[in-house]
Structure 1
């Protein structure tokens, strides 16, 4: 390789010869305060003094890995020249400068958009930190440790760093056990790559080694392949053949309740507290409010902010990633039900609405119809993209859904005789089903090992990947063009999931998202905080803890005397004996008994408040020096108490299959086009309050009204039809003898209540006469109210005139 940098200061031009390849790099940085040129155009930065000749020579000498794509779309690394983007150069330079000036013991938060090349930024930073010396020519960090939980990124980082230095002893992969990690740290290996699971051990071990300093680089945490959620799902469902709705319910509850890796990292760091010999460098695309407070740098207003920012908007404008919301289409499922029982049962309104919604969305017709929509869209649109290499991902609501959709895909493709679409499925553990009573695994269905899936999917042999809480985060496959979403998503998970599409590759100009489960505004609200800069709107205040403590105290589930007695044993010096553990629970059990005496609403309020107190105290106690002993005692007591409180019985659910018949099921496209995010300098995240917990009052309502509510909620717009339909409705209402009697004996304020029920029933009886107007009335509340109010007044006046 021949590398010849040439500097021509007069015309601000830099030319670089790399073998037979000649690059003329002549660009500029800002235009109307926006990046308008790709940031690898180095010449501006050299001319502007942002990159000096020494740094450029270092870059040229050390960065020799460039991603390439095979014919099958698989990424591999060709040993050639790769110029970092400006934001990658900038973050490494600033971090190195700050670490050199301040030494160890610092914390840095780097917020870089998903798909912006964090893997390379981390690799380059690790390499520079490993050879960083202070002004007295003393090495600042004895070792650099890279923490990641993603198998894909783990391999990518190792490959990238290995290409910097080929001599032995520079990089050590920790792929055996904690002893291997301890030996690597003790022996002073320059760069150590390990997994998230070994992070607590690493942090503890580093703190115990005297007179040594360490840099710990933390890749953004993801709940991806494996993790506590997957383990708990496997443990919960491995012995059971549960229904689709039960699978979704259980897995969503587990997913919501399991501490994610991002929180896990913060907790580990907070337990240790600040360490003068350890600097932490945290990379993330989606920092939470708590992450900002732990890792953020204080601005002039005292608010925590990232040390370095590369926003989603910036990355999109520079062409580094693709805007995944550019072609986002939402589908809503609309359905109506017909009563099939003679009596109108009283149901819990809140639970009935949930049950009906679940029944409709998981009806076999629904799965088959969605499969047809997805397969046909892929055939007609997706497979023609990226030179015929485009791939799709289907995000399902649960492991059982992934299996069912996979079988539906296979059956539909076979029925149609399609030869150019082959699906793969990804889920954790063993899944029992009617078709697989002995259980089935992902590997058995795909007919190859679980770890082989990313490479297999990258080939031309497979086109669609159906996933259940797997490969939604941290999965890098540039040929992914289309995503079908059939799972409720919001917040960080929505951003991480949809961002799987944003990787660029030759021939990829756009992406496509078809969402069966979410609305446009939810997705916009999820992406908005990370479109520009994520900042806290205000700092979390400790008084929120006292608000929560006041709520739990007032419930009188526990007594202070019990908390005090518990604490005497809990904080007793030395190891706790079996007898001591029994005594601890002796002070917990009375509170459990009192909890059971509360009604369901109060139980829910208490448990939520106590859980929030424990989480918030755990967070704040690592940041603020609390002197309140009572808070500490209640925290320890509460952690034990929460483990003893009764769990929610997820099997208790309303079964409406025998009470309501699915009369029809249709899909109608209601929104299509770009989701527009607001360009803002900052988007504040609400602080950690967790004090505003409330429970909606449950009310009873008739099934017919519940059905009306659902028909009103799920609808689509049509153009108005002729007046004949309304005239028929009006005449039918006028011929109702009951309405006539009520109109003659009541003012209109009372009459309208009787009118409502007859109005709906009349519409249902005549829905075939004009299905379009019927649908609009039933699902569009504003339109329905207009029609109902007009007919109420008109019919009442006709009766009164007689």
Structure 2
């Protein structure tokens, strides 16, 4: 958080003249991060990112969690998000808050139940509700909640498969980092690793990597230059295993099957069968190449895997309007599942 370091430098001289500099800096930093302007800025970033990059995923079912450092932080950030949502007239990112007990801020007492408008025990079910999966939707639509702001609640043991995105506004260390971020790991029939994204306001990447190190042998650096995608696309297409007409037919069928957001499991299975049919010619060409030039086939697989991972991650950060990039991503990630194991 760049604000933190700037404030340390700005406050150092005055703090040393008056009181214990460590206490002064700590209080000044906290006051700044908890200020109305700071909360409004983070609220806007969270809401805008969710609506632009996360909300459409899983056929419009995707949900997000915002992790805060304490109850006052959770309430103030929740209020800032609600204010921004109301100001902009957004109707597609209903927000809830979760914290324990009662909290008094500026002379007003807040509880989770008062802010949400229903008892605490109902929160998991209400947050998990989606109209797309309601077998008997009422004539008056039930409220659909997409974002949950939490303070020391639902960071462990919360099993919500529709969570794809997390906004972290709290220092996470050791096991707490692993348990918190792993809320996104719950599986769903429409969910892939490319749907997952974490926007972290508080932690350094190396600290999170260290927390996970004892559970994983390696970590992967994410691409930082969007232009790399065009290089990787050219690399994939240079193998001449993919045909644009076949890719066009595939993505047309894919969006027709999945973009409505209300497909049943049976419909999804049928759609997958049709989509695999569009992949068969490329699969046949790959198998022929693999039989004669296995090293080249392996290089193609690595290039395609590298492209889909890069696109899946970068698409959370920037909106791509290049149809060829999107076409290769959708076609490529399905084809990778069909390629025979090395």
Please report the TM-score for the alignment, with normalisation by the length of structure 1.
0.24
Q: How many residues align?
A: 204
The answer for the alignment partner of 1:524 in structure 2 is 209
Q: Do residues 459 (structure 1) and 144 (structure 2) align?
A: no
Whether the aligned pair in 2 keeps the contact of 1:394 and 1:483 (CA below 8 Å) is yes
The answer for the alignment partner of 1:333 in structure 2 is 3
Distance 1:467 1:398 in 2: 8
The answer for the alignment partner of 1:480 in structure 2 is 163
Distance 2:209 2:172 in 1: 11
Whether the aligned pair in 2 keeps the contact of 1:332 and 1:517 (CA below 8 Å) is no
The answer for the alignment partner of 1:444 in structure 2 is 114
Q: Report deviation, 1:487.
A: 0.8
Q: Report deviation, 1:361.
A: 2.1
**Aligned partner of residue 432 in structure 1, secondary structure:** strand
Q: How does 1:261-340 map to 2 (within 5 A)?
A: 332-333=2-3, 335-336=6-7
**4+ aligned runs moved over 6 Å, structure 1:** 341-344
1:397 to 44, 64, 69: 69
2:198 to 503, 513, 534: 513
Q: Report deviation, 1:385.
A: 1.0
**Residues 598-646 of structure 1 deviation map (CA, whole Å, 9 limit, x = unaligned):** xxxxxxxxxxxxxxxxxxxxxxxxxxxxxxxxxxxxxxxxxxxxxxxxx
- Higher RCO (C-alpha under 8 Å, 6+ residues apart): 2
Whether the aligned pair in 1 keeps the contact of 2:15 and 2:21 (CA below 8 Å) is no
Between Structure 1 and Structure 2, the one with more helix by share is 2
The answer for the alignment partner of 2:38 in structure 1 is 366
The answer for the alignment partner of 2:50 in structure 1 is 378
Distance 1:403 1:458 in 2: 21
What residue ranges of structure 1 are gaps of 5+ in the alignment?
A: 1-330, 533-671, 675-802
Whether the aligned pair in 1 keeps the contact of 2:177 and 2:208 (CA below 8 Å) is yes
Distance 1:356 1:343 in 2: 10
The answer for the alignment partner of 2:98 in structure 1 is 426
Whether the aligned pair in 1 keeps the contact of 2:68 and 2:170 (CA below 8 Å) is yes
Distance 2:212 2:129 in 1: 31
Distance 1:463 1:432 in 2: 26
**Residues 493-536 of structure 1 deviation map (CA, whole Å, 9 limit, x = unaligned):** 1100000001121221231101111111110111111226xxxx
Superposed CA RMSD in Å reads 2.6
- Flag the structure with larger Rg: 1
**Residues 396-451 of structure 1 deviation map (CA, whole Å, 9 limit, x = unaligned):** 11011111111111110000111111101100011112262xx2211111111111
The answer for the alignment partner of 1:309 in structure 2 is none
Whether the aligned pair in 1 keeps the contact of 2:67 and 2:166 (CA below 8 Å) is yes
Q: Report deviation, 1:344.
A: 7.6
Q: How does 1:738-749 map to 2 (within 5 A)?
A: none
1:503 to 186, 190, 208: 186
The answer for the alignment partner of 1:348 in structure 2 is 20
**Residues 572-597 of structure 1 deviation map (CA, whole Å, 9 limit, x = unaligned):** xxxxxxxxxxxxxxxxxxxxxxxxxx
Distance 1:332 1:381 in 2: 24
Q: Report deviation, 1:347.
A: 3.6
The answer for the alignment partner of 1:491 in structure 2 is 174
Distance 1:468 1:441 in 2: 12
What residue ranges of structure 2 are gaps of 5+ in the alignment?
A: 131-143, 224-342
Whether the aligned pair in 2 keeps the contact of 1:410 and 1:423 (CA below 8 Å) is yes
Whether the aligned pair in 2 keeps the contact of 1:406 and 1:466 (CA below 8 Å) is yes
Whether the aligned pair in 2 keeps the contact of 1:393 and 1:464 (CA below 8 Å) is yes
Whether the aligned pair in 2 keeps the contact of 1:482 and 1:513 (CA below 8 Å) is yes
- In 2 relative to 1, CA 454–344 (structure 1 residues): closer, same or farther, beyond 3 Å? closer
Please report the TM-score for the alignment, with normalisation by the length of structure 2.
0.55
